[in-house]
Amino acid sequence: LKGIQMEERKRKHLSEIKESAWSKRLRPETSTDEDEEDISVFLPDTRNSREWSNATYSGSVKNLRRVTPKPVSGFANGLRRSTRIRVPPLETWRNERLVFKTSTSGEVECLGIEKGTPADNSGLLQMERKWERIELKKKRTVERGRSLRKKSTNVRDTEADLLVPVEVHRAFDSLRWRFPPSEIRPPPYRFAKSFSSSSIRFGFLELSPFGKKEERYSPDHNSHFTVIKGHLEVTIEDRRFLFNVGDSFIVPSGVPYSITNCTRFKSLLAFCDFTMPFFTDP
């Protein structure tokens, strides 16, 4: 029985020691009014609502929340207001800068932004001109397509004094090309007729790289050629010629001739065959 009483006394004494220690921890510290306004206090996070308190908690830092003091009502003495102003971002590449002025009282005032050099819009203007050229090219292409929809054009027949429909234009990509009867592949040349009648015909002759139109002659018509593209070697009868872009030559009927492409690119010629007699001046 005495042992049990001793145990109870020890337990009671220990509980009293714990209670006194806890009350010492929660005892408020002495502080001034100014300190109480600036101190942020930590309290155990036991409730969801925020409480205002000047007590401090020196226990475990687990599950703590920050309590901010109540704001001071009114403006504090000696509070300095900001004199900053908002300005758009300065274009430093054009030497823009802020202009300040100091008054007699010593205050500095911003007068605004000093404009720098004029903006360089050459790149934008170049892009705009390029866009205009593209749009103009598209417009011309559409207009050209509209003009080529009709294959025939009304022209006046001088003999009958009437307007008759005649094909007076033909696109280059609409030509029908023909190849010579040769076993060489690719063929050395090809030709296409654009306009033809009983007495005259017009067309184009295209030679492959280093291609050659073998020697031949026409018994019933004369041939006129104009070099549009390439560097050619032409033999008429027994004489050899070298022709460049823009040169032209004529082959009378019955005279043999040959044409050779001297470059590794395609050459193009325009030709005209006609049956009327051709005579040269002495």
Q: Which of 206, 219, 216, 218 is nearest to 266 (CA)?
A: 206
Identify the band that residue 78 occupies on the pLDDT scale cut at 50, 70 and 90.
Answer: low
The pLDDT, as a whole number, for residue 57 is 42
Q: Residue 68: which residues within 8 A CB-CB, separation 6 or more? A: 40
**Residue entry with tokens 């002759």:** 205
Whether the predicted pLDDT of 269 surpasses 70: yes
Region 171-193: mean pLDDT is: 82
- Tokens 């011309």 appear where? 140
Q: What is the reported pLDDT for 116?
A: 77
Write the DSSP assignment of 142-187 as a string of letters: HHHHHHTS---EEEEETTTTEEEEE-----GGG---B--S---SS-
CA 282 to chain centre: 65
Q: Are 143 and 127 in contact (CB under 8 A)?
A: no
Q: Read off the tokens for 188.
A: 């050395």
153-170 b/e (C-beta count within 10 Å ≥ 16 → b): eeeeeeeeeeeeeeeeee
Q: 137: helix, coil or strand?
A: helix
CA distances from 180 to 21, 67, 190, 219, 250 (A): 120, 101, 7, 18, 21
Query: What rounded mean pLDDT belongs to the chain?
Result: 76
Dump pLDDT digits (tens) for 200-225.
Answer: 999 999 999 999 998 888 888 899 99
250 or 15, which is more confident:
250
Backbone angles phi, psi at 19, to 5 degrees: -65, -40
Tokens 């018509």 -> residue: 221
167 DSSP 8-state letter = -
Nearest CA to 46 among 59, 37, 35? 59
User: CA-to-CA distance for 260 and 206, rounded, in angstroms?
Assistant: 11
Query: Could you tell me the pTM of the whole model?
Result: 0.45
pLDDT at 239 over 80: yes
Both structure tokens of 174: 């609409």
Q: Which single residue is written with the structure tokens 């006194």?
A: 20
Q: What is the pLDDT of residues 33-63, one digit of tens each?
A: 444 444 444 444 444 444 444 444 444 444 4
pLDDT-derived band at 64 (thresholds 50, 70, 90) equals very low
User: Which residues are bridge partners to 166 per DSSP?
Assistant: 153
Overall size of the chain counted in residues: 282
